[in-house]
Each structure stands twice: as structure tokens, then as C-alpha cells.
């Protein structure tokens, strides 16, 4: 219980409607999330590097207890020292 209290002290709860974006490239790049209820889905650009911005789902649907966004902790920083995402996550 103490761990949960500590996490809540340094975090914020985010509520999303179905289809609403949790994070995308250049948006909420510095955060890691824990799914408390509901489902999330990751999307990736269909043809990486192309101008075609069609996003397709990949991986499993994320449910209660999963973490999402921790990949940002391991991605290299750009020339300005900022990590950035390449995936989109939606409710």
C-alpha cells in the first residue's frame, strides 16, 4: 500500500475517452503510464519513414496492470538531448 501511495504522490491520473490519444510522437514524450482500468492500443506507422501516415495497430491490447511508454526510457536522445516517441497509443 505504501508503494501505491508513493506512486500516486508523484503522478497524475489520466482519463481518456475511447479513441482519444494518450501519446504520439512529440506529445507526452517524457511519461510512463500504468493502466488502472480500460484498454489501450499501440499503433505504428504502416510504412516507417514514408510520407504515408497510415497508422496500423500492433502488439496486444493493453489491459489493467500493464505499463505503457517505458520504451522512452531506453530510446536515444536527439541532438537537443530530448527522447521522442515514434508510436501512437490510443484508448
Q: What is the pTM of this model?
A: 0.67
Residue given cell 511508454 in the structure block = 69
Cell numbers for 7, please give them: 506512486
Q: What's 87's DSSP letter?
A: -
pLDDT at residue 40, rounded to an integer: 87
Tens digit of each residue's pLDDT (9 = 90 or more) over 2-27: 877 887 788 888 888 998 888 887 77
Tens digit of each residue's pLDDT (9 = 90 or more) over 21-77: 888 877 766 777 878 788 888 888 887 777 777 888 888 888 887 777 776 666 655
CATH of 2-90, one of 3.40.50.10190, 2.40.128.30, 2.40.50.320, 2.60.120.10: 2.60.120.10
User: Is residue 79 very low, low, confident or very high in pLDDT (cuts 50, 70, 90)?
Assistant: low
pLDDT at residue 28, rounded to an integer: 62
**Sheet of 55-62: strands edge to edge?**
21-23, 88-90, 40-45, 55-62
72-to-8, 25, 79, 84 alpha-carbon distances in Å: 21, 11, 16, 7
Amino acid at each position: 500500500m505504501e508503494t501505491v501511495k508513493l506512486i500516486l504522490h508523484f503522478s497524475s491520473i489520466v482519463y481518456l475517452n475511447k479513441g482519444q490519444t494518450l501519446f504520439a510522437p512529440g506529445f507526452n514524450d517524457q511519461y510512463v503510464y500504468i493502466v488502472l482500468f480500460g484498454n489501450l492500443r499501440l499503433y505504428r506507422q504502416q510504412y516507417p519513414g514514408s510520407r504515408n501516415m497510415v497508422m496500423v495497430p500492433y502488439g496486444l491490447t493493453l489491459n489493467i496492470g500493464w505499463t505503457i511508454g517505458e520504451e522512452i526510457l531506453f530510446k536515444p536522445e536527439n541532438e537537443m538531448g530530448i527522447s521522442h516517441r515514434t508510436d501512437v497509443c490510443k484508448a
